[in-house]
Amino acid sequence: MNAIRIAGSQSTPEIHCNPESGTVLLQGDSYPENSYELYQPVIEWIETWLDRHQHLHLELRLVYMNTSSVKAMMDIFDILEAAHQKGQHVSVDWFYDRRNERVAEMADEFREDCTFTFQIIPDA
Amino acid sequence: MPDFERIPHDDAGRRAWVRELLGSATLAEHPLRAAFEFLAEEYLAQEARLDRMMRIADGYSNLSHTQSLGAVEKYERTLRRLEKLARISDRYQKIVMELNESLKRAALEDDLTGLPNRRMLLEALRRETQRTQREGQPFSLIMLDVDHFKRINDRYGHDVGDQVLCEVAHTLQESLRDYDLCARWGVRNS
Protein backbone atom coordinates (compact mmCIF):
# COMPACT_ATOMS: atom_id res chain seq x y z
CA MET A 1 0.00 0.00 0.00
CA ASN A 2 1.11 3.51 -0.71
CA ALA A 3 1.74 6.03 2.01
CA ILE A 4 -0.24 9.25 2.16
CA ARG A 5 1.78 12.29 3.19
CA ILE A 6 0.21 15.73 3.19
CA ALA A 7 1.91 18.74 4.75
CA GLY A 8 -0.21 20.79 7.11
CA SER A 9 -1.34 24.34 6.47
CA GLN A 10 -3.03 27.01 8.53
CA SER A 11 -6.43 25.43 7.87
CA THR A 12 -5.54 21.78 7.25
CA PRO A 13 -3.80 19.23 9.45
CA GLU A 14 -0.63 17.37 8.62
CA ILE A 15 -1.61 13.88 7.47
CA HIS A 16 0.54 10.78 7.37
CA CYS A 17 -0.83 7.32 6.59
CA ASN A 18 2.12 5.03 7.16
CA PRO A 19 1.96 1.49 5.72
CA GLU A 20 5.31 0.59 7.37
CA SER A 21 3.84 0.78 10.85
CA GLY A 22 0.10 0.73 10.18
CA THR A 23 -0.40 4.12 11.75
CA VAL A 24 -2.35 7.18 10.74
CA LEU A 25 -1.29 10.55 12.08
CA LEU A 26 -3.37 13.73 11.99
CA GLN A 27 -1.97 16.89 13.50
CA GLY A 28 -3.00 20.54 13.58
CA ASP A 29 -6.12 22.60 12.94
CA SER A 30 -8.75 21.37 10.53
CA TYR A 31 -11.10 23.76 8.81
CA PRO A 32 -10.53 23.02 5.13
CA GLU A 33 -12.73 24.46 2.40
CA ASN A 34 -13.49 20.95 1.22
CA SER A 35 -13.34 18.40 4.01
CA TYR A 36 -14.54 15.58 1.77
CA GLU A 37 -11.62 16.10 -0.61
CA LEU A 38 -9.16 16.11 2.28
CA TYR A 39 -10.52 13.21 4.34
CA GLN A 40 -11.93 10.84 1.70
CA PRO A 41 -8.48 9.49 0.69
CA VAL A 42 -7.65 8.97 4.39
CA ILE A 43 -10.93 7.15 4.99
CA GLU A 44 -10.36 4.97 1.93
CA TRP A 45 -6.79 4.26 3.03
CA ILE A 46 -8.00 3.14 6.46
CA GLU A 47 -10.73 0.94 4.96
CA THR A 48 -8.32 -0.72 2.52
CA TRP A 49 -5.73 -1.18 5.26
CA LEU A 50 -8.24 -2.85 7.57
CA ASP A 51 -9.35 -5.15 4.74
CA ARG A 52 -5.82 -6.48 4.57
CA HIS A 53 -4.47 -6.16 8.12
CA GLN A 54 -5.52 -6.93 11.67
CA HIS A 55 -4.23 -3.80 13.38
CA LEU A 56 -4.32 -0.02 13.02
CA HIS A 57 -3.14 2.79 15.27
CA LEU A 58 -4.42 6.35 15.02
CA GLU A 59 -2.37 9.17 16.49
CA LEU A 60 -4.12 12.53 16.77
CA ARG A 61 -2.94 15.99 17.66
CA LEU A 62 -5.95 17.87 16.40
CA VAL A 63 -6.83 21.22 17.90
CA TYR A 64 -9.63 23.10 16.16
CA MET A 65 -12.09 21.39 13.81
CA ASN A 66 -14.97 22.69 11.73
CA THR A 67 -18.23 20.79 11.46
CA SER A 68 -17.40 18.80 8.33
CA SER A 69 -14.05 17.78 9.84
CA VAL A 70 -15.87 16.63 12.98
CA LYS A 71 -18.11 14.51 10.77
CA ALA A 72 -15.11 13.02 8.95
CA MET A 73 -13.53 12.08 12.30
CA MET A 74 -16.80 10.50 13.46
CA ASP A 75 -16.84 8.46 10.23
CA ILE A 76 -13.28 7.30 10.90
CA PHE A 77 -14.12 6.31 14.47
CA ASP A 78 -17.16 4.38 13.17
CA ILE A 79 -14.89 2.40 10.84
CA LEU A 80 -12.53 1.66 13.74
CA GLU A 81 -15.44 0.62 15.94
CA ALA A 82 -16.72 -1.80 13.26
CA ALA A 83 -13.20 -3.26 12.92
CA HIS A 84 -12.96 -3.60 16.70
CA GLN A 85 -16.30 -5.44 16.77
CA LYS A 86 -14.87 -7.89 14.23
CA GLY A 87 -11.93 -8.55 16.57
CA GLN A 88 -9.29 -6.39 14.85
CA HIS A 89 -6.79 -4.47 16.99
CA VAL A 90 -7.45 -0.76 16.64
CA SER A 91 -6.40 2.00 19.00
CA VAL A 92 -6.42 5.77 19.21
CA ASP A 93 -4.07 8.10 21.10
CA TRP A 94 -5.26 11.69 21.15
CA PHE A 95 -2.50 14.01 22.40
CA TYR A 96 -3.21 17.51 23.62
CA ASP A 97 -1.36 20.49 24.99
CA ARG A 98 -1.71 20.71 28.77
CA ARG A 99 -2.38 24.45 28.45
CA ASN A 100 -5.44 23.68 26.36
CA GLU A 101 -7.55 21.35 28.49
CA ARG A 102 -10.58 21.99 26.33
CA VAL A 103 -9.09 19.90 23.54
CA ALA A 104 -9.17 16.98 25.97
CA GLU A 105 -12.85 17.68 26.66
CA MET A 106 -13.58 17.62 22.93
CA ALA A 107 -11.64 14.38 22.48
CA ASP A 108 -13.71 12.95 25.31
CA GLU A 109 -16.91 13.84 23.45
CA PHE A 110 -15.59 11.96 20.43
CA ARG A 111 -14.65 8.97 22.58
CA GLU A 112 -18.24 8.43 23.73
CA ASP A 113 -19.69 5.31 21.97
CA CYS A 114 -16.19 3.99 21.16
CA THR A 115 -15.42 0.66 22.81
CA PHE A 116 -11.87 0.25 21.45
CA THR A 117 -8.77 1.61 23.22
CA PHE A 118 -9.00 5.39 23.05
CA GLN A 119 -6.50 7.30 25.16
CA ILE A 120 -6.46 11.06 25.72
CA ILE A 121 -2.94 12.00 26.69
CA PRO A 122 -1.37 15.33 27.73
CA ASP A 123 1.68 15.96 25.56
CA ALA A 124 4.97 15.65 27.39
CA MET B 1 -64.98 -48.72 7.07
CA PRO B 2 -65.00 -44.90 7.29
CA ASP B 3 -67.27 -43.10 9.69
CA PHE B 4 -69.74 -41.29 7.39
CA GLU B 5 -71.46 -39.38 10.17
CA ARG B 6 -68.72 -37.74 12.21
CA ILE B 7 -66.99 -34.80 10.49
CA PRO B 8 -63.58 -34.06 12.10
CA HIS B 9 -63.08 -30.53 13.49
CA ASP B 10 -59.54 -29.79 12.31
CA ASP B 11 -58.36 -29.10 8.74
CA ALA B 12 -55.93 -32.01 8.52
CA GLY B 13 -58.53 -34.41 9.94
CA ARG B 14 -61.14 -33.21 7.45
CA ARG B 15 -58.77 -33.69 4.53
CA ALA B 16 -57.87 -37.22 5.66
CA TRP B 17 -61.59 -37.98 6.11
CA VAL B 18 -62.42 -36.78 2.57
CA ARG B 19 -59.55 -38.84 1.12
CA GLU B 20 -60.74 -41.89 3.04
CA LEU B 21 -64.28 -41.44 1.68
CA LEU B 22 -62.92 -41.18 -1.85
CA GLY B 23 -61.18 -44.53 -1.52
CA SER B 24 -64.08 -46.21 0.20
CA ALA B 25 -65.69 -49.21 -1.57
CA THR B 26 -69.10 -48.35 -0.13
CA LEU B 27 -69.22 -45.19 -2.24
CA ALA B 28 -67.98 -46.81 -5.45
CA GLU B 29 -71.45 -47.49 -6.79
CA HIS B 30 -73.10 -44.39 -5.35
CA PRO B 31 -74.95 -42.27 -7.99
CA LEU B 32 -73.34 -39.08 -6.63
CA ARG B 33 -69.87 -40.64 -6.55
CA ALA B 34 -68.59 -38.66 -9.61
CA ALA B 35 -69.95 -35.37 -8.25
CA PHE B 36 -68.45 -36.09 -4.81
CA GLU B 37 -65.10 -36.94 -6.34
CA PHE B 38 -65.09 -33.67 -8.34
CA LEU B 39 -66.01 -31.54 -5.33
CA ALA B 40 -63.61 -33.34 -3.03
CA GLU B 41 -60.67 -32.75 -5.37
CA GLU B 42 -61.65 -29.10 -5.79
CA TYR B 43 -61.78 -28.76 -2.02
CA LEU B 44 -58.39 -30.37 -1.44
CA ALA B 45 -56.75 -28.23 -4.16
CA GLN B 46 -58.29 -25.04 -2.74
CA GLU B 47 -57.10 -25.93 0.74
CA ALA B 48 -53.56 -26.50 -0.52
CA ARG B 49 -53.65 -23.18 -2.43
CA LEU B 50 -54.94 -21.30 0.60
CA ASP B 51 -52.15 -22.76 2.75
CA ARG B 52 -49.55 -21.67 0.27
CA MET B 53 -51.00 -18.17 -0.05
CA MET B 54 -51.02 -17.74 3.70
CA ARG B 55 -47.42 -18.86 3.97
CA ILE B 56 -46.33 -16.39 1.28
CA ALA B 57 -48.38 -13.55 2.78
CA ASP B 58 -46.92 -14.23 6.23
CA GLY B 59 -43.46 -14.25 4.72
CA TYR B 60 -43.98 -10.84 3.14
CA SER B 61 -45.43 -9.45 6.27
CA ASN B 62 -42.44 -10.68 8.30
CA LEU B 63 -40.03 -9.26 5.76
CA SER B 64 -41.62 -5.83 5.76
CA HIS B 65 -41.76 -5.87 9.56
CA THR B 66 -38.04 -6.67 9.72
CA GLN B 67 -37.30 -3.98 7.15
CA SER B 68 -39.26 -1.36 9.02
CA LEU B 69 -37.49 -2.31 12.27
CA GLY B 70 -34.20 -1.88 10.41
CA ALA B 71 -35.27 1.52 9.11
CA VAL B 72 -36.28 2.68 12.59
CA GLU B 73 -32.96 1.53 13.99
CA LYS B 74 -31.04 3.25 11.19
CA TYR B 75 -33.04 6.42 11.68
CA GLU B 76 -32.35 6.44 15.40
CA ARG B 77 -28.65 5.85 14.83
CA THR B 78 -28.48 8.69 12.30
CA LEU B 79 -30.30 10.95 14.72
CA ARG B 80 -27.85 10.12 17.52
CA ARG B 81 -24.91 10.80 15.22
CA LEU B 82 -26.37 14.10 14.14
CA GLU B 83 -26.91 15.16 17.74
CA LYS B 84 -23.34 14.26 18.59
CA LEU B 85 -22.04 16.14 15.55
CA ALA B 86 -24.02 19.24 16.53
CA ARG B 87 -22.91 19.00 20.16
CA ILE B 88 -19.21 18.74 19.30
CA SER B 89 -19.48 21.40 16.63
CA ASP B 90 -21.22 23.82 18.99
CA ARG B 91 -18.47 23.36 21.55
CA TYR B 92 -15.78 24.11 18.98
CA GLN B 93 -17.70 27.19 17.93
CA LYS B 94 -17.95 28.34 21.54
CA ILE B 95 -14.19 27.93 21.97
CA VAL B 96 -13.58 30.06 18.88
CA MET B 97 -15.99 32.76 20.07
CA GLU B 98 -14.25 32.94 23.44
CA LEU B 99 -10.87 33.04 21.76
CA ASN B 100 -12.13 35.89 19.57
CA GLU B 101 -13.31 37.73 22.63
CA SER B 102 -9.98 37.40 24.39
CA LEU B 103 -8.09 38.43 21.24
CA LYS B 104 -10.28 41.49 20.96
CA ARG B 105 -9.58 42.35 24.57
CA ALA B 106 -5.86 41.76 24.07
CA ALA B 107 -5.91 44.05 21.04
CA LEU B 108 -7.79 46.91 22.68
CA GLU B 109 -7.07 46.68 26.39
CA ASP B 110 -4.01 47.28 28.47
CA ASP B 111 -3.23 43.90 29.98
CA LEU B 112 -2.14 45.26 33.38
CA THR B 113 -4.83 47.78 34.25
CA GLY B 114 -7.62 46.63 31.95
CA LEU B 115 -7.96 50.22 30.68
CA PRO B 116 -8.38 50.80 26.95
CA ASN B 117 -4.92 50.79 25.38
CA ARG B 118 -3.18 53.21 23.07
CA ARG B 119 -4.72 51.58 19.97
CA MET B 120 -8.24 52.08 21.26
CA LEU B 121 -7.44 55.62 22.36
CA LEU B 122 -6.08 56.52 18.92
CA GLU B 123 -9.24 55.12 17.36
CA ALA B 124 -11.36 57.26 19.74
CA LEU B 125 -9.26 60.35 18.99
CA ARG B 126 -9.75 59.83 15.24
CA ARG B 127 -13.49 59.51 15.72
CA GLU B 128 -13.72 62.57 17.98
CA THR B 129 -11.59 64.67 15.61
CA GLN B 130 -13.93 63.81 12.73
CA ARG B 131 -16.94 64.66 14.87
CA THR B 132 -15.41 68.02 15.79
CA GLN B 133 -14.83 68.81 12.11
CA ARG B 134 -18.37 67.81 11.28
CA GLU B 135 -20.23 69.54 14.09
CA GLY B 136 -17.81 72.23 15.19
CA GLN B 137 -18.07 71.06 18.80
CA PRO B 138 -14.71 70.74 20.58
CA PHE B 139 -13.65 67.83 22.74
CA SER B 140 -11.37 67.77 25.74
CA LEU B 141 -8.24 65.76 26.17
CA ILE B 142 -6.48 65.38 29.50
CA MET B 143 -3.04 63.83 29.70
CA LEU B 144 -2.05 62.64 33.14
CA ASP B 145 1.33 61.53 34.35
CA VAL B 146 2.01 59.87 37.69
CA ASP B 147 4.93 61.87 39.03
CA HIS B 148 7.83 60.14 40.70
CA PHE B 149 6.39 56.77 39.96
CA LYS B 150 9.89 55.35 39.71
CA ARG B 151 10.30 55.89 43.44
CA ILE B 152 7.47 53.48 44.20
CA ASN B 153 9.05 50.83 42.01
CA ASP B 154 12.46 51.41 43.53
CA ARG B 155 11.26 51.37 47.08
CA TYR B 156 8.50 48.71 47.07
CA GLY B 157 9.26 46.70 43.98
CA HIS B 158 7.53 46.29 40.65
CA ASP B 159 4.63 44.23 41.97
CA VAL B 160 3.57 47.05 44.24
CA GLY B 161 4.18 49.51 41.39
CA ASP B 162 1.77 47.48 39.29
CA GLN B 163 -0.80 47.53 42.07
CA VAL B 164 -0.49 51.32 42.33
CA LEU B 165 -1.02 51.66 38.58
CA CYS B 166 -4.13 49.50 38.81
CA GLU B 167 -5.43 51.60 41.69
CA VAL B 168 -4.83 54.83 39.79
CA ALA B 169 -6.61 53.34 36.76
CA HIS B 170 -9.49 52.20 38.93
CA THR B 171 -9.84 55.61 40.61
CA LEU B 172 -9.85 57.42 37.25
CA GLN B 173 -12.32 54.94 35.80
CA GLU B 174 -14.68 55.43 38.76
CA SER B 175 -14.94 59.19 38.22
CA LEU B 176 -15.79 59.06 34.52
CA ARG B 177 -19.10 59.73 32.82
CA ASP B 178 -20.51 57.01 30.55
CA TYR B 179 -19.24 58.61 27.37
CA ASP B 180 -15.75 59.50 28.64
CA LEU B 181 -12.80 57.34 27.81
CA CYS B 182 -9.80 56.77 30.03
CA ALA B 183 -6.95 54.96 28.34
CA ARG B 184 -3.38 54.04 29.19
CA TRP B 185 -0.99 55.76 26.84
CA GLY B 186 2.43 54.89 28.07
CA VAL B 187 4.35 51.75 28.78
CA ARG B 188 5.74 51.37 32.26
CA ASN B 189 8.76 53.63 32.60
CA SER B 190 10.48 52.30 35.64
Tell me the pLDDT tens digit for each residue of B36-74: 889 989 998 998 899 999 999 999 999 988 888 889 999
Contact residues on chain A for B89, CB-CB shorter than 8 A: 66-67, 70
Can you say how many angstroms the Cα of residue B59 is from the centroid of all Cα atoms in its chain? 38
Our CA-based measurement puts residue B166 at a distance from the nearest CA of chain A, in whole angstroms, of 27
| Residues A105-114, mean pLDDT to the nearest whole number | 93
**Which is it for the CA torsion A107, A110, A111, A115, positive or negative?**
negative
Residue B188 has pLDDT above 60, yes or no: no
Contact residues on chain A for B88, CB-CB shorter than 8 A: 65, 70, 106, 109-110
Tell me the pLDDT tens digit for each residue of B7-34: 888 888 888 888 888 888 888 888 888 8
| Residues A77-99, mean pLDDT to the nearest whole number | 96
Q: Decide if A106 and B91 are in contact by the 8 Å CB cutoff.
A: yes
Picking from B138, B154, B141, B148, the residue whose alpha carbon sits closest to that of residue B168 is B148
pLDDT for B159 equals: 93
Picking from A109, A87, A112, A97, the residue whose alpha carbon sits closest to that of residue A63 is A97
Quick one: what percent of chain B has pLDDT higher than 90? Answer: 52
Quick one: what percent of chain A has pLDDT higher than 70? Answer: 100
B110 vs B115: CA distance, rounded Å = 5
Residue B4 has pLDDT above 80, yes or no: no
Our CA-based measurement puts residue B162 at a distance from the nearest CA of chain A, in whole angstroms, of 26
| CB A42, CB A76: distance < 8 Å | yes
Tell me the pLDDT tens digit for each residue of A46-56: 999 999 999 99
Q: If pLDDT is split at 50, 70 and 90, which confidence band does B187 have?
A: low
Q: Decide if A113 and B89 are in contact by the 8 Å CB cutoff.
A: no
A50 vs A31: CA distance, rounded Å = 27
| Residues B165-173, mean pLDDT to the nearest whole number | 93
pTM to 2 decimals?
A: 0.66
Mutation target vs A (from B76, B84, B85, B88; most A CBs, 10 A cutoff)? B88
pLDDT for B15 equals: 86
| Residues B160-178, mean pLDDT to the nearest whole number | 92
> DSSP letters of A84-118?
HHTT-EEEEEEEE-TT-HHHHHHHHHHHTT--SEE
Residue B1 has pLDDT above 60, yes or no: no
| CB B21, CB B2: distance < 8 Å | yes
| Chain A residue nearest residue B96, CA to CA | A64
Picking from B132, B160, B77, the residue whose alpha carbon sits closest to that of residue A82 is B77
Complex ipTM value: 0.85
| CB B109, CB B117: distance < 8 Å | yes
Q: If pLDDT is split at 50, 70 and 90, which confidence band does A19 have?
A: very high
Residue A39 has pLDDT above 50, yes or no: yes
Our CA-based measurement puts residue B92 at a distance from the nearest CA of chain A, in whole angstroms, of 7
Q: Decide if B89 and A67 are in contact by the 8 Å CB cutoff.
A: yes
Residue B190 has pLDDT above 50, yes or no: no
